[in-house]
Amino acid sequence: MKIAMVGSGYVGLVSGACFADFGHEVVCIDTDQGKIDRLEEGIMPIYEPGLEQLVATNVSAGRLSFSTDLAKGIDGAGAIFIAVGTPSRRGDGHADLSYVHEVARQVGENLSGNAVVVTKSTVPVGTGDAVERILKDSGTEHRVSVVSNPEFLREGAAIGDFKRPDRIVIGVEDDFGRDVMREVYRPLFLNESPILFTSRRTSELIKYAANAFLATKITFINEMADLCEKVGANVQDVARGIGMDNRIGSKFLHAGPGYGGSCFPKDTLALIKTAEDAGSPTRIVEAVVQVNDSRKRAMGRKVIEALGGTEEARGKKAALLGLTFKPNTDDMRDSPSIAIVQALVDAGVEVAAFDPEGMEQAAPLLPHVTMCEDPYAAIKDADVVVIATEWDAFRALDLARVKQLANKPVMVDLRNIYHPDDMRAAGFEYTGVGRS
C-alpha cells in the first residue's frame, strides 16, 4: 500500500520509516524544504538511535521518499497520516490544531481517489469530527474515512516501540477505515501485537489519559521522594516495594527532577482544558501539573543548598551533566535542566554543561551556559557537579579525576545513578533524591 505521512518530525519520520520497513511504499511530506533536502542527503532532523540507518535502508530499497509537494505525495495513497505538531496554544494551554486543520484542508482539496485520513498527531477529543467536516467542506467527491491512531513512542526507543508495541489503538467509525487500517498494520497482526479498535473519540482520549496517568506516577514518586528525605527513608526501596505489586507496576517510579519532553507537559495541559470545556474538571491532573512545575525549580534550590545556600552560592560554578529531558534524545522541550539553570543563574552561579546529543538544541535556550566538549571540561574548577540526565556516559565517571578537576568534591545526583555509600567512600559530599 502507498502511505503518505504528512509531517516529517519525530512521529512522522519514525512512523514513516517503520512502515516502509514493513514493505509499504511511504512518502514523508513536509513544508520545510530545508528539512526535506537534508533528509534526501541522509541527514536526520532529530537524534533517535537506529533511525539514520533505518531511513537509509528504506530509501535505498525505494520504499521511502521525501517531498514538499502534498498533492503529488498523497496521489494514489490508500492511507494519509496527519503527523504534524500540536503544541500548547499560547495564552490558554489548549492544543494548537491549526496545523492539523490546514493539512486536512489541503488533503481534501487534492484527493485523487478514495482514502483513509489518519490522525497520528496527539489531538483533543473531537478533532476527528472537525477533520471530517473540513474534508467534506473541501468539496471532495471521493470516499474518505477519518481514523484516529495515536502514537505511543518513547523518545530514545521509538523504533522498538513501533515494531514491538504494547498495543495499537485505532479509532474508526466505518468498515472502510477498519479494513484499510488492518492492511496498514498487517505485519504487526502477524506478530500478534494487541490491536484495540474503538470509537474515534475514545481513541483520542486514550492517548491523553495514558500520558496523564504516566505523568501522575512520576509526580507521585517525586512527592514520596521529598517525604523520604524528611523522615529518613529511601525512595528507591519505596519504589521497589510498591512496584512489585502488579496492580501498580515498576515503570515510571524513578524519582528525579520532574517530567519534561514533547508529550507530557503539553498533553496534561490539553487534557485539563478539554475537561474544563466539557464541564468535568480533572483535579488530579491539575495537581500533577502544578507539582511538576514547582519541582523543577526546587531542584535548582537543592543545588544551591549544596553550594552552601543563597549567599555562599553567588560567584561559584556548577557543572551540569545532561541537558535533555531524558537520555538517547536531543529533545530539550520542557527539560527540567532549563528551570534548574534559571534558578542557578538567578542565584549568581556560573554554569558549565555537557550533553552527548543535546547541546546544539540547548544553546539558544540557555544562553548563559558554557557548553563544553566533554564532562570533565565542564567539571574543571566546579564547586558542585550536578547529574541532570541519566546518560550512560555519566554512570561511570572517573571519580578520582573528578576530584582532581573540581574545586570541591560535591555532587548533586538528581537521577540517583550513584550509591551514597560509594560516593562518600570516594570522598564526595553527595546529595541524591529521596535518599537520606
- Whether the CA torsion 178, 180, 181, 187 is positive or negative: it is positive
Q: What is the pLDDT of residues 25-79, one digit of tens each?
A: 999 999 999 999 999 999 999 999 999 999 999 999 999 999 999 999 999 999 9
Nearest CA among 179, 177, 168 for reference residue 135:
177
How high is the pLDDT of residue 191? 75
Average pLDDT, the chain: 96
Task: Tell me the per-residue pLDDT of 307-360, one tens digit each, with 9 for 90 and over.
Answer: 999 999 999 999 999 999 999 999 999 999 999 999 999 999 999 999 999 999
With b for 16 or more beta-carbon neighbours within 10 A and e for fewer, the 320-341 pattern comes to: bbbbbbbbbbbbbbbbbbbbbb
For residue 8, tell me if it sits in a domain.
Answer: yes
* Active-site entry in 18, 28, 228, 263: 263
- Region 260-275: what's the mean pLDDT? 94
The residue from 198, 229, 260 where one domain ends is 198
Question: How far from chain centre, in Å, is Cα 282?
Answer: 22
Q: Does 125 fall in a domain?
A: yes
Helix (H/G/I), strand (E/B), else coil: 430 = strand
390-422 in b/e form (b: 16+ CB < 10 A) is: bbebbeebebeebeebbebbbbbbbbbbbebee
Query: Does residue 47 sit in the same domain as residue 181?
Result: yes
Mean pLDDT of all residues in 12-33 = 97
* Cα 35 from Cα 49, distance rounded (Å): 19
Q: Give the pLDDT mean for 140-167.
A: 95
SS3 149: coil
Domains identified in the chain, total number:
2
Q: Facing residues of 307 across strands?
A: none
Q: Which residues, in sequence order, are bridge partners of residue 419?
A: none
Q: How many CB atoms lie within 10 A of CB 88?
A: 18
Is there a single domain that holds both residue 30 and residue 150?
A: yes
Say what the pLDDT of residue 354 is: 98
- Looking at 198, 223, 238, the residue that finishes a domain is 198
Q: Average pLDDT for residues 148-162, to the nearest whole number?
A: 96
Say if residues 28 and 13 touch (Cβ distance below 8 Å). Answer: yes
Does position 90 have pLDDT exceeding 80, yes or no? no
Residue 171 lies in a domain: yes
Query: How does residue 139 score in pLDDT terms, banded at 50, 70 and 90?
Result: confident
Give a yes or no: residue 239 inside a domain. Answer: no
The confidence score (pLDDT) of residue 378 equals 98
Beta bridge partners of 429: 410
- Pair (317, 173) in one structural domain: no
pLDDT of residue 190: 76
Whether 252 is in a domain gets the answer no
Domain match, 194 and 72 both: yes
Please give the backbone phi and psi of residue 135, each rounded to the nearest 5 degrees, phi first.
-65, -40
Please give the average per-residue pLDDT across 244-272, as a whole number: 96
Domain housing 81: 2-198
Report pLDDT for 436: 75
Of 160, 179, 198, the residue that ends a domain is 198
Coil, helix or strand at residue 320? strand
State how far the alpha carbon of 298 is from the alpha carbons of 122, 293, 342, 433, in Å.
30, 9, 11, 12
Residues 172 and 31 reside in one and the same domain:
yes
Give yes or no: residues 40 and 175 share one domain. Answer: yes
Instruction: Assign 150 a pLDDT band (cuts: 50, 70, 90).
Output: very high
- Residue-wise pLDDT tens digits, 368-392: 999 999 999 999 999 999 999 999 9
Domain containing residue 85: CATH number: 3.40.50.720
Same-domain check for residues 12 and 143:
yes
Q: How many CB atoms lie within 10 A of CB 281?
A: 11
Identify whether 372 is a catalytic site residue: no
- The answer to whether residue 268 is domain-embedded is no
pLDDT band at 399 (very low <50, low <70, confident <90, very high): very high
Taking the CB of residue 130, how many other CB atoms lie within 10 A of it?
17
Q: Does any domain span residue 203?
A: no
Q: What is the pLDDT of residues 185-237, one digit of tens each?
A: 999 987 788 999 999 999 999 999 999 999 999 999 999 999 999 999 999 99
Are 72 and 189 contained in the same domain? yes
Residue 91 has pLDDT above 80, yes or no: no
Quick one: 185 and 300 in the same domain?
no
Whether residue 279 is contained in a domain is answered as no
Q: Is the pLDDT of residue 290 over 90?
A: yes
The cell 489548549 sits on which residue?
Answer: 94
Q: What pLDDT band is residue 433 in, cutting at 50, 70 and 90?
A: very high
